[in-house]
Structure 1
Amino acid sequence: MSLTPSNMISLGTKAPDFKLMDTITDHLVTLEEIKGERGTLIMFLCNHCPFVKHVNEEIVRIANEYRQLGFGSAAIMSNDTSKYPQDSPERMKEHAAKHQYSFPYLFDGTQEIAKAYDAACTPDFFLFDDELKLIYRGQLDDSRPGNGIHPNGRDLREAMDSVLNNRKVTEDQKPSIGCNIKWKE
């Protein structure tokens, strides 16, 4: 279990467009289809990472709560499935059902989208405003597997609440920490 931080790309960066297969519905999904009226959350996740497993319930809770408030959400899995078959599209579909994902769980088999977003780890969170400009990147909260802190989504929730309350999102953001994305050689 490696401890890889987010790359913390520049705030204001425009969300890279994509068209990826949703492993839940077996349909291609675009960024425009996911985009929320108030904002859009793009999460890089995978099935096997202990950091993702630690926060899965809170991720689902946030997506469900904030969807009602105008935020779109999607998760993208970009790991090399030839080396990590537990992250295959079939397993992604099972994982999404088990954890009741209410958002698309997209397969980035070429890894082009992870590179476009400069994603580094799982989980990695990118929150965009209503114009698809980056306003938050970094951690869900201070919880980590084994540190005794229960996931509450505090950092991400504060950013989303700032949008809802027409406040500027703080630029003091902590990188996410997780397993590195498993790049193809």
Structure 2
Amino acid sequence: MADTESTMLSLGTKAPDFTLIDAVTNNAVSLKDVRGKKGTVVMFICNHCPFVKHVNDEIVRLCNDYRVIGFGFVAINSNNAIKYPEDSPAEMWRTAQKLSYPFPYLHDETQEVAKAYDAACTPDFYLFDDELKLVYRGQLDDSRPGNRIPVNGRDLREALDNILNNNPQRKDQKPSLGCGIKWKE
């Protein structure tokens, strides 16, 4: 399986709207429901990807650190659950329970949301400001499975802190690297 990089959606892009089913509650959740007062993080993740498994604990820590100060978080799984049953809603529920996800974990069955965000890999991170304009996209940090760099969420944490402190975002944003989204044919 080839490693896939983020496509790096253009900064300033307005967050595409969505309403998807949360695999944990079985309720419909929209962008409006997860929007934070200070900003919103949209993450494309899945259950089976070793890159996601590598950063899962830090995603939970980061969300717990920033949601209490006004940021909204949501994770979306857009993989083809027929060909990849580990990414089915039932398995999403198990993963969310096991890891105590503090954010909705939504199933993008039609893959239309991933296409709207131009998502290419898991994990892939998008940070939108309080006006839902894209200010950061790309990697969580420099850590990858096997590279011995600690997982610390540095890049995304810096982008969140830049919003909090009214600082400009870095221009040299690095794409995420992970498993390609498993598209339906």
Please name the residue that 1:36 is paired with: 36
Alpha-carbon offset, residue 89 of structure 1: 0.2
Q: Render the CA deviation track for 1:143-167: whole Å, top value 9, x for unaligned.
A: 0000001100000000000000011
Provide the secondary structure at the position in 2 that maps to 1:137: strand
Alpha-carbon distance in structure 1 between the residues aligned to 2:74 and 2:25: 13
Alpha-carbon offset, residue 169 of structure 1: 1.1
Q: Do structure 1's residue 157 and structure 2's residue 157 form an aligned pair?
A: yes
Alpha-carbon distance in structure 2 between the residues aligned to 1:23 and 1:2: 28
Q: Do structure 1's residue 27 and structure 2's residue 30 form an aligned pair?
A: no
Alpha-carbon distance in structure 2 between the residues aligned to 1:19 and 1:171: 31
Q: Render the CA deviation track for 1:60-116: whole Å, top value 9, x for unaligned.
A: 001111001100000000000110000000000000011110000000000000000
Alpha-carbon distance in structure 2 between the residues aligned to 1:19 and 1:146: 36
Identity, in percent, stands at: 66
Alpha-carbon distance in structure 2 between the residues aligned to 1:12 and 1:76: 21
The amino acid that maps onto 2:77 is: M
Alpha-carbon distance in structure 1 between the residues aligned to 2:156 and 2:21: 26
**TM-score if structure 1 supplies the norm length?**
0.99
Please name the residue that 1:111 is paired with: 111
Alpha-carbon distance in structure 2 between the residues aligned to 1:127 and 1:99: 22
The amino acid that maps onto 2:36 is: G
Provide the secondary structure at the position in 2 that maps to 1:57: helix
Specify every segment of 5 or more residues in structure 1 that has no aligned partner in the other structure, as ranges: none
Alpha-carbon distance in structure 2 between the residues aligned to 1:125 and 1:2: 19
The ranges of structure 1 where at least 4 consecutive aligned residues each deviate by more than 4 angstroms after the TM superposition are none
Provide the secondary structure at the position in 2 that maps to 1:61: helix
Please name the residue that 2:130 is paired with: 130
Q: How do residues 57-96 of structure 1 correspond to structure 2 at under 5 angstroms?
A: 57-96=57-96
Please name the residue that 2:45 is paired with: 45
Please name the residue that 2:4 is paired with: 4
The amino acid that maps onto 2:58 is: E
Provide the secondary structure at the position in 2 that maps to 1:47: coil
Please name the residue that 1:174 is paired with: 174
Alpha-carbon distance in structure 2 between the residues aligned to 1:170 and 1:147: 24
Q: How many equivalent residue pairs?
A: 185
The amino acid that maps onto 1:152 is: N
Alpha-carbon offset, residue 2 of structure 1: 2.1
RMSD: 0.5
The amino acid that maps onto 1:89 is: P
Alpha-carbon distance in structure 1 between the residues aligned to 2:121 and 2:25: 25
Alpha-carbon offset, residue 178 of structure 1: 0.1
**TM-score if structure 2 supplies the norm length?**
0.99
